[in-house]
Amino acid sequence: MVKIILVTHGNLAREMLNTTAQIIGKTPDDFATLSIAAASSVEAEAAKLKALLSDCPDGAVILTDIFGGSATNVALTASKDNPKCNVITGLNLSMLLTAVNNRKKLSAKELAEKIEADGKRAVINATELLIKGL
C-alpha cells in the first residue's frame, strides 16, 4: 500500500487528516503528517521526513500545501533520491480523499497522477457554475 504523508505549514496537515477521518468515519491507516514551523530548518525537517520515507516498500506520495513554500522544499529535499516517492502540491480535501480511496490499488506514480487530476477537477467557481447557470 502506498504511504501518504502530509507536509504543510502550521497544523494544516493534522487538521486535513482529522477532517478526512470525520468524512470517512475513521482515521486512514498508514498516513503521516509533518508540520513545518516558520523557523524550521529545511535540512532538519527533511531528515525527519526521510525517516518517515524509510519504510515505504510500495512507495509514497507526499502532499504539500503550496509550491515554493517551506513544506514543499522539505518534501523535495527528503525525497530527491527516492524514485518511488512523488511530491504533489496544492493540497485540498478532494486530493486527500482520492489518496485514501485509491492507494491500495494504484502504484505511487499512478496514485500521484490521479491525485493531481482529481485535485484540479475539484477547483470550481461555484458561483459561475450553479448560481449564474453557466
Region 86-112: what's the mean pLDDT?
96
What pLDDT band is residue 102 in, cutting at 50, 70 and 90?
A: very high
Q: Is the pTM of this model over 0.85?
A: yes
Q: Which among 85, 89, 77, 71 has a CA at the least distance from the CA of 34?
A: 71
Domains of the chain: 3-131 (3.40.50.510)
What pLDDT band is residue 134 in, cutting at 50, 70 and 90?
A: low
Region 33-56: what's the mean pLDDT?
91
Helices (H), 1-134: 12-24, 42-53, 70-79, 93-102, 108-121, 126
